Amino acid sequence: MQIGEVRNLQNKTVVLQLTDGEMAIVKVNSVDVQYEDIMVDVLETNMPGAYPQFRQDSCFTIRAADILSASEILRVV
């Protein structure tokens, strides 16, 4: 995806499908237009080995170019 396509995801919880086959539920903390990436908290993933330093207080960077699709998770209140 282009960075412009993910700009509106900041502060939202989304499902990402990545180019390497990963499906992840993440909380998007920030979108960096200059570096064309997003900083996320990984909540759930089908590839936990991709995050060897995983801790509850860790954030990870994902390049916008590595995102195939992003769908916001809507909460039912």
* CA dihedral of 30, 25, 7, 64, whole degrees rounded to 10: 90
If one compares 35 and 77, the residue with the highest pLDDT of the two is 35
The pLDDT tens digits for 38-62 are 999 999 999 988 887 777 777 899 9
Mean pLDDT value of segment 58-70: 95
If one compares 14 and 49, the residue with the highest pLDDT of the two is 14
Domain 3-72 = CATH 1.20.120.1770: no
Predicted pLDDT at 35: 96
Residue 66 phi, psi dihedral angles, 5° rounding: -85, -5
What are the extents of the domains in the chain?
3-72
How far apart CA 16 and CA 67 sit, in angstroms, is: 7
